[in-house]
Structure 1
């Protein structure tokens, strides 16, 4: 009887160890780290094309100099070239998502996809900023909407005939207020207030 119990315990430990080792491997192959979003639908549904995982590594060349119109992706030893105005965007190796919009060289880092999509764009600094990059914030109403500077003027104009207008008008006094992050809810304050209207 003791031998049977001991054998059952050994079998259970063996199966537990085997399952614990197999789970991370399966999870990693289903969790791409970088790739291309061909459309807004792809971004919205987290469908990356030419996606990397633990066994592969993607390298991007954005060809940004002189307003380059193409993005080159090195994937599994092959180079793929995309026209920036024909794809939605991409996810880099650090898990950051970017959207291309109108100007071929304009890439917008997606900070949050909530009631509004909030973006960040860095531009080279100058003498006045001590050559630190200038960070500007933008938004769109939906993942495929027009991109505007994140300002009270633009938000009120986009939502002028909707209940969101009243929320914006009552809760934000300056453009800087719009970039405040709500640490408790882990989202931008503007999105936390607007999501209540849905």
Structure 2
């Protein structure tokens, strides 16, 4: 009698485990390197691959390492961080490397302005929680600046975008408001109307 109860339970748990495994394989995003801003814009990954190609990315961040290593099909490829635009990690998130060997900016949205997020290690004052700051660039190849009203107004001075920013945003924290309905940052939704 116990066998009749245990056998179906084992069978069902095996099916659930196989389904979860199948899901993990089909949802495995590609990772790789963006050599240029144009590559990022056109979504052309160099050394693109997933788990089947054994893609592994090592940022070599220890002591401000100047290179990153991409293992692809068992072969290591080294890149100078200041010689490439960025990379896509194994989770499918895109990052831009900009001017500093250790600075990596997660690309949150590529719209009228490109919006990035960067995290720094927390300290005693923050309870060791990571410090999150938001940045922007005017286009994928533009300079990266802290996302602030002053920086946006300086970047778009004398352009129609300046008037939209001035009329719709009062504080720096207003700039990171996300429009859930339109699935984009509010600033990009407003600037897209130009």
Shorter-chain TM-score bucket reads 0.7 to 0.9
Task: Give the TM-score normalised by structure 2.
Answer: 0.84
Please list, as runs of the form range in 1=range in 2, the aligned pairs for 1:69-80 lying within 5 A after superposition: 69-80=66-77
Q: Secondary structure at the match of 1:191?
A: helix
Pairing 1:158–2:136 present: no
Q: Secondary structure at the match of 1:50?
A: strand
Residue 48 of structure 2 is aligned to residue 51 of structure 1: yes
Q: Which residue of 1 aligns with 2:12?
A: none
How many matched pairs? 169
- In the alignment, the residues of structure 2 paired with residue 149 and residue 65 of structure 1 have an alpha-carbon distance, to the nearest angstrom, of 25
Gaps of 5+ in 2: 1-24
CA distance in 1, matches of 2:188, 2:52: 36
Extract structure 1 runs of 4+ deviating beyond 2 A: none
Q: Deviations over 1:163-193 (max 9, x none)?
A: 0011000100000000000000000000000
- The Cα of 1:56 is off from its aligned counterpart by 1.8
User: Which residue does 1:38 correspond to in 2?
Assistant: 35
Q: Which runs of 5+ in 1 are unaligned?
A: 1-27
Q: What is the Cα deviation at residue 55 of structure 1?
A: 2.4
Which structure's CA Rg is the greater one? 1
Find 1:145's aligned residue among 120, 142, 147.
142
Partner of 1:10: none
Aligned Cα RMSD in Å? 1.5
